[in-house]
Structure formats: structure tokens, C-alpha cells
Amino acid sequence: MRLSKPYVASLLLRAWVKTLKVEVEFLAEPTFPSIIAFWHGRMFLLPFVFRSYASQVSILISRHRDGEFATRLVEALGFSTVRGSTGKGKGGDRAFLEMVRLLKSGMSVAITPDGPRGPREVVKPGVARLSIKTGVPIYPLTFSCSRGKKLNSWDRFLIPYPFSRCKVILGKPIYPQGYEEEELVKKVELELQRLTETCDGEMGWKA
């Protein structure tokens, strides 16, 4: 039997993550449905932190060239996916409507609000628009590590070295009620920045 590259990659990632000492801190117990927002460069541990919830979470993945491999990889880890973006055009409108449908059905969705191509750690309005449209809260999520490598990519993707310590923080829910879209965008951005700085500080990570 010939194994696909994404399946082999998922096995290697599982083995890699097993070497890590991971501490997970939930500042609030996640509710379903929810919108899980995390920086594109801090997604390495996401599929493993939420693996027990895989049947309840669908991950948004771009239609860019590398998105096909990422789709097959996270599906090999047990998650469903939505292809597109939260923006308009290039499949964004279709993806947005699909996420609205999923959230209304009780599924949660996971989004990188600065993806798929940046600017890095700048929240785009789609995540706020989705939250306001559905009334579903946004949970900010981040991670850091004691030893790792930041890739020379637009998102400065962080990969922890094997056997390093890692910290994952899931923030408190941000409810859309009472926010204008622009205000909610800024709230999510500031909270993700704050949690990431906290996480980096606890791990002693220096950029």
C-alpha cells in the first residue's frame, strides 16, 4: 500500500509532538460553536491541542498552492476543512457562507485572521464579520516554546525543537454583541498580541 505524503507527514508530526512537554492553559472552557482565532505563524500545535474536539472543529485553509497539502494533512489528523478565506473574492464569499452554515449547525471553525499571506499579526475584518453575522464568540489561541526556530517566511512560522517545552494559551471568549466590526477587529488583534507576548515571556522566547 502506498502512503500519501500528507499521511506520512501527519505520522511524523505526531511523533514530533510526543517529544514535546506541552502545557495547555484554558482561561475559559471552550463552548461550541465557537470561532478559534490564532496567528498563522503560531498554528503548529493547533491540530494536537484540539484533537479530542476534531469532529467538532473545521479549519479554514486557503486556496493557495500550499493549501492542498495542508488540507490533506489536517484531514489526516481527523479535522474537516473549509477552503478559501474570510475575505471577498477568490473563494472567500463561498467559504464565508460555508462557515456561517457550519457555525449555525453547531460546528466550530478555526481561522488564522492574518492569513493566508499577511500582513503578519494583523487581523483582517473577516473574522469579526463572521462573529457578528452568527453571534458566535471568538476564542484567541496562541502558543510558544522554550527552544525553536522561526522560519524565514512572511508569518515567521514558529517550529518548536524536539524535547522543548511548549505553552498553549486559549483566551477568554470575545463576544460580538455591542461591537462594530472595526472595534471587534482591534479587540481580537490586541488580545492575540497580548496572549502571544505573555506566552513568549513564560517560555523565555526571544524573537
Tens digit of each residue's pLDDT (9 = 90 or more) over 60-111: 987 776 666 777 778 878 888 898 766 665 556 889 999 999 999 999 999 9
Query: What are the pLDDT digits (tens) for 141-161?
Result: 999 999 999 999 999 999 999
Higher local confidence (pLDDT), 62 or 132? 132
pTM above 0.85, yes or no: yes
Q: List domains and CATH numbers for the chain.
A: 23-203 (3.40.1010.10)
C-alpha span between 127 and 162 (Å, rounded):
33
Predicted confidence band of residue 116 (pLDDT cuts 50, 70, 90): confident
Measuring CA to CA, which residue among 143, 158, 168, 205 is closest to residue 23? 168
Predicted confidence band of residue 36 (pLDDT cuts 50, 70, 90): very high
In this prediction, residue 1 carries a pLDDT of: 47
Q: Report yes or no: 54 and 123 within 8 Å, Cβ to Cβ.
A: no
92-104 and 126-134 helices, crossing angle to 10°:
40
- Write the CA distances from 173 to 98, 123, 169, 176, 191, integer angstroms: 22, 16, 12, 10, 10
